[in-house]
A and B are shown apart, each in its own frame.
Chain A
């Protein structure tokens, strides 16, 4: 079967750095997405990785290792507004999106 694993919940401090991991076992791989979802709102696109390495976009960075079936989302200089759920999704060989259950990130002052 296909599977995406993410921690259910994480807590971090304002101004700090947090890394949210995502591991996957899918039939094929055609890219990995990260989305942010605030409570009661739409998931919004953060990043897309298809090649190994780190993609940096402001305070957020996303890393991919295809050989390890592993990605992480790195959030720097955390702000209270970063409190949200972060969803990892993998595009499999049939170009279907396989979703993780999401990681709820709680930021404390």
Chain B
């Protein structure tokens, strides 16, 4: 139990569907992150939120749309995805913005996304 919960754990969707991934952290952290993890590749940082404000968008296609309604919840809205978007999507949180000190990030178990 890491204190970060992601739902759903698995998602299969067609390229024309719209779905959302949900992340909730119970750690009282101020920063939250979305990562994409593909096989044998480094974690790709997608979005960073600090105190509910988006502070980073790493050139992510607009078919991915994040939302952070409060410091405990983070969503990733998906629409018209491509087959290459199939991956594990990880949510993480940290006390404050990434790497500012020796604060580790706490990860959820991820959503395994498959695009048909």
Contact = CB atoms under 8 A, between A and B. Distances in A.
A97 B41 CA distance: 15
Secondary structure dominating the interface of B:
loop
A89 to B, nearest CB: 8
A40 interface: yes
Nearest to B39: A101
Contacts of A92: 99
B109 interface: yes
Contacts of A33: 104
Contacts, number: 53
Contacts of B112: 40
A42 B90 contact: yes
Interface in B95-110: 97-100, 102, 104-110
Contacts of A31: 99, 102
B43 interface: yes
Contact of B109 (A41, A96, A102): A41
Interface size class of B (residues with CB under 8 A): 20 to 34
B42 A99 contact: yes
Given A4-B42, A97-B45, A97-B105, A44 B2 contact: yes
Given A31-B102, A50-B102, A101-B40, A40 B97 contact: no
B81 interface: no
Contacts of A48: 102, 104
Interface of A: 4, 8, 30-31, 33, 35, 40-45, 48, 50, 87, 89, 91-92, 95-102
B26 to A, nearest CB: 14
A99 B104 contact: no
A95 B109 contact: no
Contacts of B106: 42, 45
Contacts of A35: 104
